[in-house]
A and B are shown apart, each in its own frame.
Chain A
Amino acid sequence: DAGVTQSPTHLIKTRGQQVTLRCSPISGHKSVSWYQQVLGQGPQFIFQYYEKEERGRGNFPDRFSARQFPNYSSELNVNALLLGDSALYLCASSPDRGRVQETQYFGPGTRLLVL
């Protein structure tokens, strides 16, 4: 079975530009979460989506937005890029939202560099 997939693998943008990152969850998983990992730190939660609705949001500015599609895939959009947005963006999927004893599975990530 395919794991969580993300595209693109790498991306270079300049300040002020906009970027869209994509994620496909494990087949049968309905929940998708996004995390940002800055070099040398642990991943930080950005969003969780379940059944196309936002179920959680981390401490990120409104420049960050996301959506989930009927097939449960998801996009993360970041507008007006800043140098500090350079990071590894990770997508995770899980079968359901809010259930106790639920494991999250992570994709390989998208490395974003903002120049």
Chain B
Amino acid sequence: GIQVEQSPPDLILQEGANSTLRCNFSDSVNNLQWFHQNPWGQLINLFYIPSGTKQNGRLSATTVATERYSLLYISSSQTTDSGVYFCAVEETSGSRLTFGEGTQLTVNP
């Protein structure tokens, strides 16, 4: 099956800093989503982005499908951005999402 690798595994920032999270995947995909998991376990949709670039407030994402990677940018980070960020992909052969291991982000005041 498809492999999904996220980096870095852990990231500690001061409030106001910018960060870039990376997701590499091993095969062509139909779907790529970025999620934020809050401390209560809820997975919150950030972006559906199988290709191209999208922006939503302080967050933006870029997927380069031909090179099999996606980047999530967080600007002017806030303490509420803390949590685990997951990248998940759907293979062209099926409809299941395969998740990476996540990036644990901690934003300190």
Contacts and interface: CB of A to CB of B under 8 A. Distances in A.
Nearest to A110: B41
Interface residues of B, number: 23
Nearest to A106: B43
A55 B96 CA distance: 10
B41 A56 contact: no
Contacts, number: 65
B102 A48 contact: no
A48 B99 contact: no
Contact of A105 (B45, B94, B100, B102): B45
Given A48-B95, A48-B96, A56-B96, A108 B41 contact: yes
30 contacts: A31-B95, A37-B41, A41-B101, A41-B102, A42-B4, A42-B101, A43-B86, A43-B97, A45-B96, A45-B98, A55-B95, A56-B95, A58-B96, A88-B41, A90-B43, A92-B97, A97-B95, A98-B95, A101-B30, A101-B31, A101-B48, A102-B95, A103-B31, A104-B33, A104-B97, A105-B45, A106-B42, A106-B43, A108-B40, A108-B42
